[in-house]
């Protein structure tokens, strides 16, 4: 939530900062702002409520001359404290108007700090928690032990702050320098030639450099055009504790590539995302075929001795977690509990050294999931992260990591990340099964080969796009859509409903089909669209026949049935008002196929209703506050 960027170099900072904000707008789009430091020591600030386009229009109107300078920073906001107005937009300045700040996160002790400032006669000009930080730095710079020392002033304030934050400070008397710091929210340094960047994520500067340094917890960095110096909040150098890395994708991955929306591009990238997530995770050795994880700090012995598994995640990642349960329990006979990360630590779950906690997060920075990981570690459980963002906080704090290699996901709705997470779950399940001996190496090899065949099948499901979009346009103005599934089709139904809610702002609910007669069937009325995910007729016959009965029941009560079923499943045809056919796949892997039409459906309904599918209202891509 909130995207921040800073630049020090030799080029026009405004252009670089605005471009970076455009790429990070998915992190929040309630307001945007920039602060540019001219060589003469003038600090020019502009900020505007609403989308970045509003800020750009304002900048164009006021003329860019004021913003000539080679040091600058910018912010795109997802509001936490204070309404999304001009007055609450970042950057904020201190009373001297010389110090500016942008912030991502929440300063939890802002109330006493605000009172302290008010008592000192400072007049606060916004409703944000952020503003206290800039006034405190201004005061520390003006008088007292850190007077005149910008870095020492900023560090002295950082030591006083509680909560989760990335903060970036500039000072009009110190052009050519930016100070940034992080606790729990992300901050990456982009290392260029004669220019340096800092940002919430690498998409901000991928156009200019692929060399990056990930800051650790409670670290601060001072950047100039030619240097970056990382310290703790006491100013001690932390050489060796940062993590330099080279970004292994390029600008094209962070651009729409001819699509109207990132989401549409990301849906099409799914075959590649599933394939890339599998690459390098299967080797043949003297014991036969083996699954290997990315960063494995768990001993084989530990994998053998776990006696239960918890999966924790939020939103779509939680739905991926629900699917993990079916595979892991089936392959390993280990009990698996799947829990919303936001609930996990508040109910005192039973965790110990023999518990494996699998934390699933595309961003690797979701606050609820991060706190669940920390809680699990406090209780001595071992944590394995499934993550799409190299080096993010959740994988950093975990004992083992499996990266979903699907490239940056910029549309707020999870699509390719979801499919890659589901794929990664299978790898975790197989790794556990091989370690525990519940699957022989040749069985592991067979499952892996089936998985490797899935990307081609996902590509074939994409061909249903025109049919799905036509149905979506017909239904674009209905008030409600229900989704039904059984077994692995149930989490798919939940995911389909979530996509429709978040993108089309339409009432949608997913149900386990067996629950229909326990209440939800009362919702069925003439013409109500119900999307049904049919299990494979080649899987457990009972599942298929029960769902068939459920479709009959709702059709008899007037529902319009839109059925996703395997090609050749003719038994379902008479009960489907619309039949969307997907290729046949092993039961556990079918969600990799059946989810895709639901993503296309939600995107099309949203577009037909005139909504921006990349930036749905009230949402942001990374939820870094609880």
List contacts with ligand M6R (CB under 6 A): 314-317, 361-363, 366, 369, 412-414, 498, 502, 622-623
Cβ proximity to ligand M6R: between 385 and 585 the closer is 385
Does 256 participate in catalysis according to the annotation?
A: no
Secondary structure (3-state) at 167: strand
- Name the H helices within 454-590: 454-462, 465-475, 489-504, 541-556
When the beta carbons of 488 and 498 are compared against ligand M6R, the nearer one is 498
Q: Which two tokens stand for residue 308?
A: 């239960």
On whether the CB atoms of residues 95 and 122 are closer than 8 A, the answer is yes
Strand partners, 45: 35
Closest C-alpha to 31, from 55, 13, 10: 55
Active site residue 115: no
Q: Is the Cβ of residue 93 or residue 265 nearer to ligand M6R in the bound state?
A: 265
Cβ proximity of 546 and 486 under 8 Å: yes
Q: Which is nearer to ligand M6R, 80 or 209 (CB)?
A: 80
| Residue 227 CB neighbours (<10 A) | 12
Six-digit token string for 154: 């900023």
- Closest CB 365 distance from ligand M6R, rounded Å: 7
Q: For residues 265 and 186, what is the distance between their CA atoms, to the nearest angstrom?
A: 26
* Three-class DSSP category at 403: strand
Residues 367, 116: Cα–Cα separation, whole Å: 28
Please, what is the minimum distance in Å from the beta carbon of residue 253 to ligand M6R? 17
Q: Are the C-beta atoms of 201 and 193 separated by less than 8 Å?
A: no
CB of 607 to ligand M6R, least distance (A): 16
SS3 per-residue string spanning 29-44: CCEEEEEEECCCCCEE
CA 447 – CA 450 distance, rounded (Å): 5
Instruction: Please state, in angstroms and as integers, the Cα–Cα distance from residue 3 to each residue in 29, 104, 186, 199, 387, following that order.
Output: 9, 7, 10, 7, 19
Nearest partner of 165 among 223, 233, 94, 234, judged by Cα = 233
Neighbours of 85 (CB within 10 A): 16
Q: Please, which residues have CB within 8 angstroms of residue 577's CB and are 6 or more apart in sequence?
A: 555, 560, 561, 562
What are the residues whose beta carbons fall under 8 Å from the beta carbon of 441, sequence distance 6 or more?
A: 287, 288, 289, 290, 434
Phi, psi of 71 (to 5 degrees): -125, 130
- Shortest Å, Cβ 459 to ligand M6R: 22
Nearer to ligand M6R by C-beta: 412 or 431? 412
Spatial distance between the Cα atoms of 326 and 106, rounded to a whole number of angstroms: 37
Alpha carbon separation from 172 to 98, 101, 178, 333 (Å, rounded): 5, 12, 10, 63
Q: How far is the CB of 498 from ligand M6R (least distance, A)?
A: 6
Q: Of 44 and 79, which has the nearer Cβ to ligand M6R?
A: 79
For residues 429 and 220, the answer to whether their CB atoms sit within 8 Å is no
Both tokens of residue 576? Answer: 């489907």
Residue nearest to ligand M6R (CB): 315
> Residue-wise over 506-535: b if at least 16 C-beta within 10 A, else e?
bebbbbbbeebeeebbebbeeebbbbbbbb
Q: What is the DSSP string of 313-350?
A: E-HHHHHHHHHHHHHHHHHH---EEEEEHHHHGGG---
Q: Which of 325, 416, 439, 621 is catalytic?
A: 621
Q: How far is the CB of 363 from ligand M6R (least distance, A)?
A: 3
Report the C-alpha gap between 144 and 138 in whole angstroms: 11
Closest CB 500 distance from ligand M6R, rounded Å: 11
Contact assessment for residue 92 and residue 124, using Cβ atoms and an 8 Å cutoff: no
Beta strands in 308-455 (DSSP E): 308-313, 336-340, 355-361, 382-387, 400-403
Shorter beta-carbon distance to ligand M6R: residue 151 or 367? 367
Cα 193 to chain centroid distance, Å, stands at 30
Closer by beta carbon to ligand M6R, 155 or else 387: 387
CB of 409 to ligand M6R, least distance (A): 9
Q: Which is nearer to ligand M6R, 317 or 425 (CB)?
A: 317
Smallest distance, Å, CB 44 to ligand M6R? Answer: 34
Q: Which of 2, 387, 416, 615 is catalytic?
A: 2
Least distance in angstroms from the C-beta of 313 to ligand M6R: 6
**Shortest separation between residue 339's beta carbon and ligand M6R, angstroms:** 14
Measured from the CB atom, is 361 or 590 closer to ligand M6R? Answer: 361
Which residues carry out catalysis?
2, 621
């Amino acid at each position: 939530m909130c995207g921040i960027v800073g630049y020090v170099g030799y080029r026009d900072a405004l252009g670089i900062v605005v471009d970076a904000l455009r790429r990070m707008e998915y992190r929040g789009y309630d307001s945007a702002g920039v602060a540019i430091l001219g060589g003469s020591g003038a600090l020019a600030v502009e900020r505007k409520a609403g989308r970045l386009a509003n800020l750009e229009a304002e900048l164009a109107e006021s003329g860019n001359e004021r913003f000539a300078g080679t040091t600058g920073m910018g912010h795109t906001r997802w509001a936490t404290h204070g309404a999304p107005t001009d007055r609450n937009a970042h950057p904020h300045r201190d009373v001297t108007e010389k110090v500016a700040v942008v912030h991502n996160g929440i300063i939890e002790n802002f109330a006493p700090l605000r009172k302290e400032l008010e008592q000192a006669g400072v007049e606060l000009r916004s409703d944000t928690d952020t503003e206290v930080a800039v006034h405190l730095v201004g005061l520390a710079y003006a008088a007292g032990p850190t007077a005149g020392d910008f870095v020492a002033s900023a560090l002295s304030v950082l030591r006083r702050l509680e909560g989760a934050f990335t903060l970036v400070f500039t000072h009009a008397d110190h052009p050519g320098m930016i100070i940034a710091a992080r606790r729990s929210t992300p901050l990456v340094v982009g290392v260029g030639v004669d220019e340096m960047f800092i940002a919430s994520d690498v998409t901000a500067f991928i156009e200019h450099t692929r060399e990056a340094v990930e800051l650790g917890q409670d670290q601060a960095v001072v950047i100039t055009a030619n240097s970056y110096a990382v310290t703790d909040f006491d100013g001690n150098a932390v050489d060796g504790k940062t993590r330099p890395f080279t970004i292994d994708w390029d600008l094209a991955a962070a651009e729409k590539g001819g699509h109207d929306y990132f989401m549409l591009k990301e849906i099409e990238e799914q075959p590649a995302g599933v394939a890339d997530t599998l690459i390098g995770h299967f080797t043949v050795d003297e014991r036969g075929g083996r699954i290997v994880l990315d960063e494995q700090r768990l001993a084989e012995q530990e994998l053998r001795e776990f006696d239960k598994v918890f999966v924790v995640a939020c939103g779509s990642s939680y739905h991926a977690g629900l699917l993990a349960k079916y595979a892991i329990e089936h392959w390993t006979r280990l009990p698996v509990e799947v829990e919303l990360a936001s609930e996990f630590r508040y109910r005192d779950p039973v965790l110990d050294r023999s518990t494996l906690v699998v934390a699933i997060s595309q961003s690797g920075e979701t606050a609820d999931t991060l706190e669940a990981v920390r809680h699990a570690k406090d209780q001595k459980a071992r944590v394995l992260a499934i993550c799409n963002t190299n080096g993010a906080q959740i994988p950093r704090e975990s004992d083992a990591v499996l990266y979903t290699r699907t490239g940056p996901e910029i549309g707020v709705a999870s699509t390719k990340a979801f499919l890659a997470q589901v794929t990664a779950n299978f790898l975790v399940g197989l790794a556990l099964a091989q370690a525990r001996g519940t699957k022989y190496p040749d069985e592991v090899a067979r499952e892996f080969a089936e998985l490797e065949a899935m990307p081609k099948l996902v590509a074939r499901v994409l061909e249903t796009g025109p049919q799905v979009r036509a149905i979506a346009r017909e239904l674009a103005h209905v008030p409600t859509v229900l989704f039904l599934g059984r077994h692995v089709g149930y989490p798919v139904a939940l995911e389909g409903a979530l996509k429709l809610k978040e993108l089309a702002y339409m009432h949608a609910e997913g149900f386990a089909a067996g629950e229909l007669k326990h209440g939800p069937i009362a919702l069925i009325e003439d013409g109500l669209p119900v999307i049904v995910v049919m299990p494979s007729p080649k899987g457990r016959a009972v599942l298929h026949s029960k769902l068939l009965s459920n479709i009959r029941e709702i059709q008899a009560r007037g529902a319009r049935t839109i059925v996703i079923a395997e090609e050749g499943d003719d038994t379902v045809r008479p009960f489907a008002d619309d039949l969307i056919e997907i290729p046949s796949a092993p039961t556990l892997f079918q969600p990799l196929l059946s989810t895709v039409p639901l993503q296309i459906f939600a995107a099309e309904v949203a577009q037909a209703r005139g909504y921006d599918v990349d930036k749905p209202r009230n949402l942001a891509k990374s939820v870094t506050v609880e």
